[in-house]
Amino acid sequence: MLKTRLRDFFITQDDWIFAVSDYFHPHGIRSTLRYVPDEEGERQMNGKRYRKYDFDDSFDFMRKHRPEWVEDVHVVPEEQVKRILPPNEAIQRLVASDSRIDAIVKVLEKAGVPRSHMGVTGSLLPGLQNETSDVDFVVYGKYWFIARDAIAEEKKRSGPIEDINMEMWQRIYKKRIPEISFEEFVVHEGRKGNRGMVEGTYFDLLFVRDWEQIKEPPARGKDTGTMRIEATVTNADLAFDSPAVYKVQHPEIDHVLSYTHTYAGQALPGELIEAQGVVEITGEKKRLVVGTSREPKGEWIRSLTLLEKENML
């Protein structure tokens, strides 16, 4: 069985490039198509041109060319996988060739994050980046929180790592199209501390579970309709994961999950949240799921504690 985890990439026998989208793979590798060889493609790697596929376009392509691989994500048979591209194995190459990656790595190593627990995903991982590509920087397990704090401290200095300006926040907001106002979005995002600029390029600090944190897969629930709740967060250890997980104190709901990156890290333990999403029943428990579509409408998580502190309620 192939060993993969969230944010790894892999290349198939057809040289199609996929991003792994789950920690658990009951059959085949749960993933999303990202790049396909195409003579008219705008990206290039080792003299070969590739076309990048966004989420919706990738499903159109797969329904046409590999409909048997299309489920809620793309499920690729293991025998079709030619090569796995783990983000942490790309670090050495990128440190030597990209001053932005080198700058981030130096900050994190100084804070005590081992290089073995860093990685780079997105277009930089297979080497298909262009001049507009952002940096998707990965840190594994407990070291993610150390890395986040180190980046926050570095932003206070006059170095290559800087805070995000309002123009960039507007760009991110328009890309994500969340169900909360721009003002609320910036307040929540500003506190998270996992985004920044390095040498003028936007970067995101992405959490991926360490191997020992990958345990039993969550049971699939039965949808029972939508609900809006107010609940107190009691545990947010996996709040920056995908899905983001919040254990809550509530008469009916046991956990709130977010499958959209917008609401990762949205609240801290002890905070009162407002959340609206789809209720799933798993056994004797109910959970509220936010991000049931690519651009979820009518679904959100807000920290009422944070908004009250900022006099926004």
Residue 25 has φ and ψ, to the nearest 5°, of -135, 85
| Cβ atoms < 10 Å from Cβ of 83 | 12
132: pLDDT strictly greater than 90:
no
**Quick one: how far is CA 122 from the chain centroid?**
10
Whether the CB-CB separation of 178 and 300 falls below 8 Å is answered with yes
User: What tokens were used for 145?
Assistant: 């929180």
The residue ranking higher by pLDDT, 292 or 165, is 165
Band (58; pLDDT cuts 50, 70, 90): very high
**If we measure between CA atoms, which residue out of 255, 217, 251 comes closest to residue 233?**
255
What pLDDT was estimated at residue 295?
Answer: 65
Beta-strand relationship, 135-140 and 201-208: parallel
Provide the pLDDT for residue 175: 86
> CA 245 to CA 247: how far, in whole Å?
7
Residue type for position 220:
R
pLDDT above 70: percentage of residues in the chain: 99
Contact 250, 231 (CB under 8 A): yes
- pLDDT (0 to 100) of residue 254: 96
Model confidence over 168-226: pLDDT tens digits? 999 999 988 899 999 999 999 999 999 999 999 999 999 999 999 998 877 777 888 99
Among 105, 148, 109, which residue's Cα sits nearest to residue 240? 148
- Say whether pLDDT at 126 is over 70: yes
pLDDT at residue 224 in the model: 84
* pLDDT (mean) for 45-61: 94
Please give the pLDDT value at position 193.
Answer: 92
Give the model confidence (pLDDT) of 269-281 as tens digits: 999 999 999 999 9
- What average pLDDT does the structure give for the chain? 94
The answer, yes or no, to whether residue 294 has pLDDT greater than 70, is no
Asked if residue 18 lies in contact with residue 34, where contact means CB atoms within 8 angstroms, the answer is yes
What is the bridge-based pairing of β-strands 48-52 and 43-45? antiparallel
Nearest to 126 by CA among 261, 16, 242: 16
The torsion defined by the Cα of 7, 219, 192 and 229, in degrees rounded to 10, comes to: 150
**Span 224-241, mean pLDDT?**
95
73-85 pLDDT, tens per residue?
999 999 999 999 9
C-alpha dist (Å) from residue 280 to 86, 126, 225, 226, 239: 32, 37, 8, 9, 19
17 - beta bridge partners? 11, 35
pTM of the model: 0.92
* Three-state secondary structure call for residue 282: strand
Looking at residue 217, what is its pLDDT?
A: 78
